[in-house]
Amino acid sequence: MAAVLNTQNTNRIGPPLRGDLRYNEPLASYTSWRVGGPADRLYLPADAEDLMAFLNSLPDSEPLFWLGLGSNLLVRDGGIRGTVICTKNRLKQIRLLDDGRVYAEAGVPSAQVAKFCSTQRLAGAEFLAGIPGTLGGALAMNAGAFGGETWPLVERVLTVDRHGQHRHRSADEFKVGYRTVVGRDGEWFVAAELRLHPGEPDISRSRMKALLATRAEKQPIQQPSCGSVFRNPPGDFAARLIELCGLKGHSIGGAQVSEKHANFIVNTGGAKAAEIEALIGLVRECVARKQGVTLEPECRIVGEGA
């Protein structure tokens, strides 16, 4: 059992906490791969204000990790030391601002953002329907799908630091690239204000339906995975290179290179994080040796081994 964290920092005074603090919480049910050891502490904030109060209550030395829908993430079997803050179903406000922009908090699923924009007769966010994560995760990595990317929609973000201080920052304060976003160290995304263009709901719905049909046809959405494991190298596709190596269907324990899409590794049942990580390493080594390309993981690998 993890030691109880004294969250009442006597040097900081704030409102009473309203969220849910759990100890030694297994993380497998919080990740899309359905693997992962325990977090020493897991905090589920009641809302953005409660999150800021919780951060203000923590000692400066407390390690922090942020978790949304748990896609694009491999948590090792030994789990995560320190405190994990989970925004799934927590930071969930989304609304239309008076000037036509969309305000959405970090815990809102990307697919919900796409649907909300469509109902508000706004176009340009349809691709978010195909991203299996939260807006916070999409902001952190400039998530994209079907030719669209997150940050071209962003006008301003709300961030918070480990002392619970929030700041509004414009999009041009961040360096954004393919699946990378560089901003201020020690700040995390709480919400974003998105600027879209006028559209027709019927057209947006049709586009989202087509994107989701393509995703269901080409990706193993019925099996636990993290989404795409590797970034596409310039001018090529990771899946093509992996398939050329004959790795489709290759397994280590319960982890398998998907037979449907080679850039997906699926949990066929009872996989350990160590088996998934070993398969990631095998794929990288094989593609480098046979194709001369070093694939870079798109998923994050965190935590400690068992």
- Rounded to two decimals, what is the model's pTM? 0.87
Query: Mind telling me the catalytic residues?
Result: 179, 228, 298
Mapping DSSP to helix (H, G, I), strand (E, B) and coil, where does residue 296 land? coil
Find where tokens 């815990």 sit.
107
| DSSP string for 8-56 | --TT---PPP-SEEEEEEE-GGGSTT----EEEEEEE-SSHHHHHHHHH
Q: What token pair was written down for 106?
A: 């970090």
In the numeric block, which tokens belong to residue 20? 């849910």
Find the mean pLDDT for residues 23-28. 97
248 and 289 Cβ atoms separated by less than 8 Å: no
Say yes or no to pLDDT of 140 above 60.
Answer: yes
pLDDT digits (tens, 9 = 90+) for 91-109: 999 999 999 999 999 999 9
- Give the model's confidence band at 136: pLDDT under 50 very low, under 70 low, under 90 confident, else very high: very high
SS3 154: strand
Residue 145 has pLDDT above 90, yes or no: no
Give all strands of the β-sheet with 251-252 in edge-to-edge order.
Answer: 251-252, 255-257, 265-267
* Cβ–Cβ < 8 Å for 24, 1: yes
Q: What is the mean pLDDT of the chain?
A: 93
Q: What was the pLDDT predicted at 27?
A: 97
Amino acid 13: pLDDT = 52
Distances (CA, A) of 1 to 67, 129, 172, 270: 21, 39, 44, 24
**What is the reported pLDDT for 240?**
98
* DSSP bridge partners of 98: none
Tokens of 52: 């800021």
pLDDT at 65 over 90: yes
**Rounded distance between C-alpha atoms, residue 224 and residue 244, angstroms:** 24
Element (H, E) at 215: helix 201-218
Residue 15 banded pLDDT, cuts 50, 70, 90: confident
Q: What is the predicted pLDDT for the residue at 274?
A: 98
Summarize pLDDT for 239-281 with one digit per residue, the tens: 999 999 999 999 999 999 999 999 999 999 999 999 999 999 9
Q: Could you give all domains of the chain from N- to C-terminal order, each with its CATH number? A: 20-86 (3.30.43.10), 94-217 (3.30.465.10), 220-302 (3.90.78.10)
Contacts of 234 (CB under 8 A, 6+ apart): none
| Mean pLDDT, residues 65-69 | 93
Is a pLDDT exceeding 60 seen at residue 306?
Answer: yes
Q: Are strands 38-44 and 80-86 parallel, antiparallel or unpaired?
A: parallel
Please name the residue that has the structure tokens 């009641």. Answer: 46
Spatial CA neighbour of 214 closest among 139, 147, 284, 157: 147
Q: Is the pLDDT of residue 11 over 70?
A: no
